[in-house]
Amino acid sequence: MTEKVLARLSDDQNSNSNKIERAIATLDNSTADAVGLPAMAYTSEDFLDRERRTVFTNHWVCVGIGSDLPNFGDLVPVEVAGMPIMLVRDRSSKIRAFHNICSHRGLQLVTQPCQQQKLIRCPYHSWSYALDGELKSTPHFGGYWQDTYEGFDRASKNLQSIKCEQWLDLIFINLVGNAPPLEDYLQPVIERWSDYDLSLLSHGRDLSFEFDANWKLAVENFSESYHLPWVHPQLNNCSRMEDHFGFEVGENHVGQGSKLYRIGAMGDLTLPVFPNLPESRETVAEYISVFPNLMLGIHPDYFLALTVNPLSPTRSVERMSFYFIGDGATSIEYEALRQIPIDLWKITNEEDLETIERLQKGRKSPAFDGGCFSPALETTVHQFQRLVAKAIANK
């Protein structure tokens, strides 16, 4: 590379780093005075790399659901911002997480879900690991017909384990391993929804969507209802923008809800609802964005968990998991009723994704300066961006 090119690259890096520092500083202002994250936070591989090392490493990140691996020996490959991870249900029914790489020369071990395995075997040189990660066999590693050699430190070659905990059906990992207990992290959510008996949730169905936009745009969009009248006119007919409200839910999460949720009905039949709900909750739906990439929705008759994961700075994948109240709610009798919220979210999400992809396109413009927030209706978006800025400052 010529000196000129190197100088330009260095200028670009300095300018990007200045933009990040500026964003971190201005996001600490009040909502009315804050400037949003710059375009490069949504378009640059460098920024995503920084998020990998901070946002997705230092926090609890939801990576999957227990229903994906119901039995002992089930394995599921997952990714967090492109980092390969595997989930394993061990003999004691506990779900464990490991870096999804062989300790020998780093081959990705699990490429698709597998059921009821006794060992995890690498297809390259056939090293095998127990479900607790212990390295069990290394054929011919010490020479023909010798599995070892003097001085080989077998114990240091076990699978690399990742801190993993579960709340409801949702599986979380913490890559750096020093996050507080998951229950502490989620405590404001657990308290906010203590009226709902979440132990009754029964997994119904999943939907998955890929889209051409940065992952943060999906969280920001989920966190505010200001866009409802224009992006979701049909939804706005039954739950208007002004029927929504915001609420505090701890330092790391943001919440908003609707006062006018109507339970879907077919004739006299409705889905089972959470028992003993206070009257004030009977027509309420609430939504919480759990930092960084989990979005939750609670309704009297169903629960929604939505995760978004970056595939690249400009492409992301979403997964929606629907849960209903009690095992009976997932029976054939309620199939058509279950489809009502699923169809509604499918339509709503398609409308959202069209908008989100246009927000992404807008970030190619040299005129985009980070944007601004409504102090009345977008404090949640501001708070989310502030959390991102704070997280990446801890690189």
Q: How far apart are CA 255 and CA 249, in angstroms?
A: 6
127 binds ligand FES (CB under 6 A): yes
149 binds ligand FES (CB under 6 A): no
Q: How far apart are CA 93 and CA 379, in angstroms?
A: 41
Figure out which of the listed residues 8, 94, 105, 361 binds ligand FES, where binding follows CB under 6 A. Answer: 105
For the chain, first and last CA: distance in Å? 28
Residue closest to 360 by CA, chosen among 37, 9, 118, 13 = 37
60 binds ligand FES (CB under 6 A): no
Figure out which of the listed residues 29, 82, 124, 183 binds ligand FES, where binding follows CB under 6 A. Answer: 124
- Nearest approach in angstroms of CB 124 to ligand FES is 4
- Interface region with ligand FES, contact rule CB under 6 A, candidates 98-106, 213-221, 284-292, 324-332: 98-106
DSSP string, 337-391: HHHHHHHHHHHHHHHHHHHHHHHHHHTTSTT-------TTT-HHHHHHHHHHHHH
218 binds ligand FES (CB under 6 A): no
Q: Scanning the structure block, which residue is given the tokens 């390295």?
A: 135
Q: How far apart are CA 280 and CA 364, in angstroms?
A: 45
Residue closest to 98 by CA, chosen among 117, 70, 76, 65 = 76
Strands 83-89 and 75-80: antiparallel
140 binds ligand FES (CB under 6 A): no
- Interface region with ligand FES, contact rule CB under 6 A, candidates 3-11, 124-132, 206-214, 238-246: 124-132
Q: Scanning the structure block, which residue is given the tokens 């989100």?
A: 356
Figure out which of the listed residues 27, 76, 80, 122 binds ligand FES, where binding follows CB under 6 A. Answer: 122
Measured from the CB atom, the residue of 91 and 105 that comes closer to ligand FES is 105
Measured from the CB atom, the residue of 107 and 311 that comes closer to ligand FES is 107
What is the enclosing helix (H) or strand (E) of 14?
A: helix 3-27
Measured from the CB atom, the residue of 153 and 268 that comes closer to ligand FES is 153
Measured from the CB atom, the residue of 100 and 309 that comes closer to ligand FES is 100
- Nearest approach in angstroms of CB 104 to ligand FES is 3
Q: How far apart are CA 204 and CA 197, in angstroms?
A: 17
For 302, the token pair is: 């169903």
Number of other CB atoms surrounding residue 224 within 10 Å:
24
Measured from the CB atom, the residue of 16 and 137 that comes closer to ligand FES is 137
Measured from the CB atom, the residue of 26 and 100 that comes closer to ligand FES is 100
107 binds ligand FES (CB under 6 A): yes
Measured from the CB atom, the residue of 102 and 308 that comes closer to ligand FES is 102
Measured from the CB atom, the residue of 140 and 364 that comes closer to ligand FES is 140
Contacting positions for ligand FES (CB under 6 A): 102, 104-105, 107, 122, 124-125, 127
